[in-house]
A and B are shown apart, each in its own frame.
Chain A
Amino acid sequence: ETGVTQSPTHLIKTRGQQVTLRCSSQSGHNTVSWYQQALGQGPQFIFQYYREEENGRGNFPPRFSGLQFPNYSSELNVNALELDDSALYLCASSPTSGSRPEQFFGPGTRLTVL
């Protein structure tokens, strides 16, 4: 087990709704990254948070937003849900950027948009 937890495990929403996904990072890790993984694809980088600041963003629209809290846990918010947002959302934590930047994933939240 990586020690990274995510909630909820599954979620069903309808188009236009908003969703908040949560992640607790592994102890000692202050960097959290979020990924979207569609079926049959590799994880796609959404954004990364380091010390409560966004520290890089992938090619996702502004309706994908996030937060990191002082305890390094994080939230991913998606507004105005679209059918194509249906995917596995993965959170990964890593220690302070340095010479060994391994990322460890949580179990993911499977989002279905109807």
Chain B
Amino acid sequence: RKEVEQDPGPFNVPEGATVAFNCTYSNSASQSFFWYRQDCRKEPKLLMSVYSSGNEDGRFTAQLNRASQYISLLIRDSKLSDSATYLCAGYNYGQNFVFGPGTRLSVLP
């Protein structure tokens, strides 16, 4: 089993929809989590950091459930520009980042 797993996708949603991605992790020692977005053939860009139970930034909300070992990312009022691959990463202090395979989102007009 991979240390970080994500919904395989792709997710195809209409503009204005709400979409949620899930990410599960197997290393219970992971302390911090991150969501990155990656556009085609570009580098990952940090979208959100999750250090406690969750974080919210505008249309984006991340929630962490340590008991069930998953993190979710909710995108409200989807825009065409949200189309990208979303990468989840876990981090254990003193260790390294472990990324999931990513979930591809296409927001359709």
Interface, chain A (partner B; CB < 8 A): 2, 33, 35, 40-45, 48, 56, 58, 88, 90, 92, 97, 99-108, 110
Q: Which of A2, A44, A56, A101 has the most CB of B within 10 A?
A: A101
Inter-chain contact B42/A42, CB cutoff 8 Å: no
19 A-B residue pairs with Cβ-Cβ distance under 8 Å, sorted by A, are A40-B101, A41-B101, A41-B102, A42-B101, A42-B102, A43-B87, A43-B99, A45-B96, A45-B97, A56-B96, A58-B96, A88-B41, A92-B97, A97-B93, A97-B94, A102-B46, A103-B97, A104-B46, A105-B45
**B87: A residues at CB distance < 8 A:** 42-43
Q: Given A100-B49, A105-B43, A42–B99 Cβ distance below 8 Å?
A: yes
Q: Does B43 lie within 8 Å of A90, measured CB to CB?
A: yes
Contacts beyond the supplied A44-B99, A90-B43, A107-B42: 18 A-B pairs with Cβ under 8 Å:
A40-B101, A41-B102, A42-B4, A42-B87, A42-B101, A42-B102, A43-B44, A43-B87, A45-B98, A56-B95, A101-B93, A102-B34, A102-B46, A102-B49, A103-B34, A105-B45, A108-B43, A110-B41
Please indicate the chain A residues that have their CB under 8 angstroms from the CB of B60 in the complex. none
A56 to B44, CA, bound (A): 21
* Count of chain B residues near A, Cβ 8 A: 25
Query: Which applies to chain A's interface (DSSP): helix, strand, loop or mixed?
Result: loop
* Closest B residue by C-beta to A41: B101
Mask of B45-56 contacts with A, CB within 8 angstroms, 1/0: 110010100000
